[in-house]
Structures are given as C-alpha cells and as structure tokens.
Amino acid sequence: MIEDPESIELMKASNDFAINFFNELEIKNKFLNQTLSSIAKAEDMGRQYEEYIDSLYEKLNSLNPTKYNLTKKSILGNSYQKYYKAIKKHEPQIASQISLLANQQEILKRDNITLNIEVSKITAMIQDLYNIYAEGQELEKKIHAKINTIKKEPDTKIFVDSTLLPLQRKLFQIQQMIAVKSQTILTLNIVQQNNITIIQNIDNIKNITLGALKLLAASAKAKNDQAELAQYFNNTELRLNEANIIVKNTLPENNTKLNELKSN
C-alpha cells in the first residue's frame, strides 16, 4: 500500500489534472458549436447561391451579341432592334436576381467577420491545450521518476494504475482535441475562401458583366436608331426621287401648253 506523502500528492495531482480546464473548455465548445451551426447553414445557403450565380451567368450568356447575327439584316426586322428588345425584356429579372445576390453578399461578408473571430478563439484554445499538455508532460516526468524509486512490485502497479495511466489518457485526449481544433480551423478557412469566391463572383456580375450588358444595350439601341435613321433617309430619298420623276414627266406637257399660249 502506498502511503508516502509524495506518492499521494502525485496521485491527487494526476486525478485533478486538467479537470477545471476541461470544464471550461466544454463551455467554450458549446458556444462555438452554436456559432458553427449557424455558419454551416450559411455555407449551405452560399452553395445554393453559387448555383444561382451559375444560372444567372447562363442567362447573361444567352444575351451574347454573337447569337443575334448583328451584322446581318433579318427579313423580320433589324437584328439590333431584336437584341435591344431581348436585353430590355430580361433586364428587370436580371436586376432582381442581382439585388438578391447583393443581399446574400452582405450576409457572407458578415459571416466571414464572425468566422475570423471564431478562428481567433479556436487558435487561443489550441494554445491553451498546448500549454496544459506541457504541464501534463512535466507531471508525467515526475510520476516516472517516482516509479523508479518504488521497489515493491504490487505498489508499482497500483501507483501506475492510479497516476500514470489516467494522466496518459488525459494527455491523449488533449492531443485529440488539438487535432480536432486544428482541423476545424482548416475547415473554417475553406468556408471563408468559398464565401470570398462567391462575393467576388457577385462583384463581377454587378460591376463587370451587368455593366457590359448595359453598354451592349446602349450600343444596340444606338445601332438600331442609326439603322432606323438610315432607313428614314433612304425612304425620304426614294420619295424625293419619285417626286423628281413626276416633275420631270410633267415638264414636256407644261412646255407644250406654254407654247400653245404663246402662239395664240
């Protein structure tokens, strides 16, 4: 039976080791899990909106000018006019979709701010785990040193079972926690990067794609107006030519009548 004060103190230290730390960590983990749960839902929403972005890109791609043969005239009307009408037809729906995407963009930006805070908290937790692990290693060294001084085999087994093994189980548990927390940080970093990609995609649609679409619409309208103006001048010229022909055709008749009047 082990009765010396040092062995008893080491047994108590092993049993008490990290108990308060684990209790505090459990409370922190509850708050962390609640946050990660809400972020996970936002991540699912982000994936849905990524698909939504792809759908929007497909709609915008359907308005590619090359699909409207803008250099050719159709028997059914001017190609620029058709293209301009197509853009104006889809413009309200595209604007509505982009507005929804802009709202989601703000949500993702706020999520990334929250993720940054949580990553900082988890990093601090990992550091605390490393610190408590180092304390446990120091205690383990003391226990090993004490084991070497115990000469009776039954006492050695009792001491090992009551001090060293429980401590080693706790140290292994801490190692597992460090691994899990480190993996959590990697996962959160991936979520952040996905959010950034979606945010950038939305920016591209708002600032580049939609801007280009508006420019194309303006160009198509200008080209259509130009074509209509050219057609107007062509029609005017045709009418003027017809008028000239009529005038010219009536001139001989008018000259004959004028000569008859002079003769009389």
Residue 48 CA to residue 183 CA, distance in Å, equals: 25
Tokens of 52: 């939504």
- Give phi and psi for 74, each to the nearest 5: -95, 150
Across 255-261, average pLDDT: 50
Please name the residue that has the structure tokens 């383990």.
Answer: 140
Reported as a pLDDT band with limits 50, 70 and 90, residue 137 is very high
Looking at residue 237, its pLDDT comes to 47
Between 242 and 216, name the one with better pLDDT.
216
Buried/exposed code over 130-165 (b: 16+ C-beta within 10 A; e: otherwise): eebbebbeebbeebeebbeebeeeebbebbbebbbe
Looking at residue 61, its pLDDT comes to 76
- pLDDT tens digits, one per residue of 165-186: 999 999 999 999 999 999 999 9
Reported as a pLDDT band with limits 50, 70 and 90, residue 190 is confident
**Average pLDDT of the chain, as a whole number:** 78
Looking at residue 145, its pLDDT comes to 93
Residues 87/91/94/96 CA torsion (nearest 10 deg):
-170
Across 20-27, average pLDDT: 92
Beta-carbon-side half-sphere exposure of residue 81 (alpha carbons within 13 Å): 12
Looking at residue 231, its pLDDT comes to 58
Looking at residue 101, its pLDDT comes to 83
Between CA 117 and CA 123, with CA 119 as vertex, the angle to 5 degrees is 120
Looking at residue 24, its pLDDT comes to 92
Q: Which residues contact 132 (CB under 8 A, 6 or more apart)?
A: 18, 21, 174
Domain ranges of the chain: 5-219
Looking at residue 168, its pLDDT comes to 96
Partnered with residue 77 across adjacent β-strands are 74
Q: 0.75 cut: is pTM over it?
A: no
Reported as a pLDDT band with limits 50, 70 and 90, residue 71 is low
Q: Tell which residue, 138, 179, 157, 118, has the closest CA to residue 17.
A: 138
